[in-house]
Amino acid sequence: MSGEDAAGVRSFGARLAEVTAARGPLCVGVDPHPALLQAWGLPVDVSGLERFALTATEALAGSVAVLKPQSAFFEAYGAAGIAVLERVLTTTRQAGALVLLDVKRGDIGSTMAAYTAAYLADGAPLAADAITVSPYLGFGSLDPALAQARRTGRGVFVLARTSNPEGHTVQRARNSGGATIAQSIVDAAAECNAGAEPLGDVGVVVGATVEPGEVRLDTLNGPVLAPGFGAQGATAEDVRRVFGTGLRGLLPTSSRDVLRHGPAAEALRSAAERARDSLASILP
């Protein structure tokens, strides 16, 4: 299977492989947390949100492979915040970076189909290159998102083994076959990616702060979003410890550790460059 389907639509996996080869495999979050707005000397209102989000996007989208806006921080301001998010999506695409919209949606039936239409359909105001989704109503509940992403050349990142302590009870529990729930999610994603070249479109989220060996990723054939790098405590050596070296599609994520260097655009770019360079020895 090539990176383009019969209709000429380029797959997300192919586009991700291309942009990370050119710019390095790093994802930077655009998280307009109120504390960060205050640290930048901005008011915690829509005007501060707009200045923060667009400053960060304009500074980073021309050099970073993937930007990951956290939708909740925009939604908190209502319609005006969503309008800012739309501008972030457009600005990112125009500068050549991919947009991974962090929405963590997960529902069933027509509701999941509606989420899918909002984020993965061509022409939707909030359409992104990929979104995060939750499989904890059953992996099959994600079918509308998987199908739409396949049709439109977009991707999904499925929560598998997150680093928050609250996730341990569910994600480390074992199913009737003896596999952990986290591993079963990775295995289901791997089935979706079978035969894809150069990389499948169904990624998983595995925290860079989890214990090494908790999940096997060697058969995934898809991207791995690894949050926790930087301000959440994971170093480049921790990324190496958890994921080994040479894992295809690994996409470490840093948010606050880059954003705290703003609002100067050059300082933001330099921080992202340092983060990317620190990972060079462990990424293919």
Q: Which residues are catalytic?
A: 104
**SS3 assignment for 102-142:** EEEECCCHHHHHHHHHHHHCCCCCCCCCEEEECCCCCHHHH
Q: In the beta sheet, which residues pair with residue 67? A: 28, 99
The sign of the dihedral angle between the CA atoms of 101, 203, 281, 214 is positive
- Find out whether 112 and 96 touch, Cβ atoms under 8 Å: no
- Rounded distance between C-alpha atoms, residue 122 and residue 171, angstroms: 33
Cβ-proximal residues to 174 (8 Å cutoff; 6+ apart), any chain = 180, 181
